[in-house]
A = this chain, B = another copy of it.
């Protein structure tokens, strides 16, 4: 088990992503280029597997690719300061909190729509009315929530 050397399909399955996604990551320079066989097929080792796991995990957590790029660069400089990684995560947490707040308001609103809306004709229906008129919203939630 000196070097595992798996083809792209195996790596993809292990990371739970599509083959194309891996090639895409290589293309944009997020994942270092794999070594190739004589017939120019990609072969990956443990380092790649770990790096891809890192990327996929961060993606699942909602980090953008530029953010992940930063995080990866930080992870590679093991002596440097942690504060920057913290800052990125904190910024991301804020955006997550904003999104939760927004969705929470939305849930309330949808529930309101559904409980109130028992006029069985559209003209009495709260779903349409609520969506048509912003002022009927419970709060001034749903502002902007763009992502890090």
Contacts and interface: CB of A to CB of B under 8 A. Distances in A.
Could you say how many copies of this chain the assembly holds? Answer: 2
A31 interface: no
B122 A81 contact: yes
Nearest to A62: B106
Q: Tell me what chain A mostly uses at the interface: helix, strand, loop, or mixed.
A: helix
A122 B76 CA distance: 9
A6 interface: no
Interface in A66-100: 71, 74-75, 77-83, 85-86, 88-90, 92-93, 96-97, 99-100
A118 to B, nearest CB: 8
Interface of A: 50, 53-54, 57-58, 60-62, 71, 74-75, 77-83, 85-86, 88-90, 92-93, 96-97, 99-100, 102-104, 106-107, 109-111, 113-114, 117-125, 127-128, 131-134, 137, 142
